[in-house]
Chain A
Amino acid sequence: MKLAIQINEGPYQHEASDTAYQFVKAALAKGHEIFRVFFYHDGVNNGTRLTTPPQDDRNVVARWSELAEQHGIDLVVCVAAAQRRGIADADEAKRNGKDTDNIAPGFRISGLGQLIEAGIQSDRLVVFGD
């Protein structure tokens, strides 16, 4: 089964990112394909590399990056939502006159079309939100 995942909320504030992560891990373990994970609304905040969560709890951002690296998963942060909330890669930062970028490894910034494409190309699209 080819899966598309939409995550509407940021790390820690809501459980959405946790549930999605555990779902994705279980799907991979069963041999399914994750076509794309698309982060929208406050979900784009899952893509900041500037988090320093407490050492004795899970690192939501880092484990997405690790999952992307280990399994080649496409983690896409919506550009419009990211611009509103201050998540930028080097190109975006330069284009918008920011003095730095903050995107976490394994994430890329792209348009809403990537979400629609994921819906078209996948067998199922599952939404995690509030």
Chain B
Amino acid sequence: MSEEEMMEEGGTVKRFMYVNRKAPIGTIYALESLEVVLIGAAFEQDVCMVFLDDGVYQLVKGMDTTELEMKNFSPTYRALEMYDVERLYVSKEAMEERGLTPDDLVVDVEVLDETQMGALMEEQDVILSF
């Protein structure tokens, strides 16, 4: 089956988890992992994104990259909904040790503790790390 055929017809649906543990801006992993999620959305798989450790910083409000002269990709997280990527989870421990609450983030997220997050990971078919 070609990629196009796979996207069009109903076919295998797997559970994909995208794991984000790195801070944005200092490295490209946050931006390029987001690009995978957006392209991947066309394949209509069962997708979730999780943010652990410094990955929670990727979602923080008020990112202004003007002086840095780098494109600001923060608004793209709000576009995820349009791509039917709505299951975004953040680590409770990561948020707390960074003094963050869900109100500090640009998108709606569900907060999971380590046990819940670990259980969610065990449910996945494919886990992508960046």
- CA A82 to CA B95, docked complex, whole Å: 34
- CA A69 to CA B99, docked complex, whole Å: 52
Tell me if A112 is interfacial: C-beta within 8 Å of chain B. Answer: yes
**8 Å CB interface, A99-130 against B:** 111-117, 119-121, 125, 127, 129
**8 Å CB interface, A80-99 against B:** 80-81
Contacts known (A41-B130, A129-B130); A117 close to B43, Cβ less than 8 A = yes
Tell me if A8 is interfacial: C-beta within 8 Å of chain B. Answer: yes
Contacts known (A80-B35, A111-B39, A119-B16); A125 close to B128, Cβ less than 8 A = yes
The answer to whether B129 and A120 have CB atoms under 8 Å apart is no
The answer to whether B3 and A119 have CB atoms under 8 Å apart is no
Interface size of B in residues (CB-CB distance below 8 Å): 23
Contact of A113 among B43, B127, B128 (CB under 8 A): B43
Interface size of A in residues (CB-CB distance below 8 Å): 19
**Hey, which chain A residues are within 8 Å of B126, CB to CB?**
119-120, 125
The answer to whether A120 and B14 have CB atoms under 8 Å apart is yes
- Closest-by-CB residue of A relative to B125 is A119
- Mask: chain B, 25-52; 1 = CB below 8 Å from A; 0 = not: 0001100100110011011010000000
Interface of A is mostly: helix
- CA A11 to CA B6, docked complex, whole Å: 32
- Closest-by-CB residue of A relative to B22 is A130
**Hey, which chain B residues are within 8 Å of A81, CB to CB?**
32
- Closest-by-CB residue of B relative to A117 is B3
**Hey, which chain B residues are within 8 Å of A111, CB to CB?**
39
Tell me if B12 is interfacial: C-beta within 8 Å of chain A. Answer: yes
Contacts known (A41-B32, A119-B16, A120-B14); A114 close to B130, Cβ less than 8 A = no
The answer to whether B29 and A41 have CB atoms under 8 Å apart is yes
- CA A116 to CA B126, docked complex, whole Å: 9
The answer to whether B40 and A116 have CB atoms under 8 Å apart is yes
Chain A residues close to B by CB (< 8 Å)? 6, 8, 40-41, 80-81, 111-117, 119-121, 125, 127, 129
